[in-house]
């Protein structure tokens, strides 16, 4: 779980400055120094509601991504573990609500 800065021009004055997202990996290009300080993320709300294109990773600059301190938060793993404990298929609606 990470948080991504929202564009100030696309949010309301009193909205949060960052939105929750799921870390999906790093961007590497061919050649030396291939890491270009870019992360791939998935929009948390889109994954939870299964919106069109929810499985398409978005490239975001490292400076725009905030990783909270402490142990990593893995909401997809928590939903899968809960589904396994209840002997049913995991549902995206079961993901924890994040303010």
This prediction's pTM: 0.74
Which whole-number Å values give the CA distances from 92 to 30, 37, 41, 79, in the listed order?
35, 30, 17, 8
Is residue 42 in some structural domain?
yes
pLDDT at 28: 87
**Structure token digits, residue 47:** 């994954």
- Does residue 83 fall inside a structural domain? no
Instruction: Determine, yes or no, domain membership for 75.
Output: no
Please state the domain count of the chain.
Answer: 1
pLDDT value, residue 54? 86
Q: Is residue 86 part of a domain?
A: no
| pLDDT by 10-residue block (mean), the chain, 99 residues | 88 87 88 85 88 89 90 80 84 67
44 vs 22: CA distance, rounded Å: 6
Within a domain: 57: yes
Residue range of the domain that includes 45: 2-67
Interatomic CA distance for residues 12 and 59, integer angstroms: 23
Q: What pLDDT, on a 0 to 100 scale, did the predictor assign at position 94?
A: 66
pLDDT in tens, 28-38: 888 888 888 89
pLDDT of residue 60: 92
């Amino acid at each position: 779980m990470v948080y991504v800065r929202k564009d100030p021009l696309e949010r309301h004055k009193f909205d949060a400055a960052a939105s929750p997202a799921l870390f999906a990996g790093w961007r590497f290009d061919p050649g030396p120094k291939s890491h270009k300080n870019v992360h791939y993320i998935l929009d948390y709300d889109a994954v939870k509601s299964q919106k069109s294109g929810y499985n398409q990773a978005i490239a975001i600059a490292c400076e725009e991504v905030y990783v909270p301190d402490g142990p990593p938060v893995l909401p997809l793993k928590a939903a899968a573990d809960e589904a396994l404990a209840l002997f049913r298929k995991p549902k995206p609606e079961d993901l924890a609500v994040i303010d």
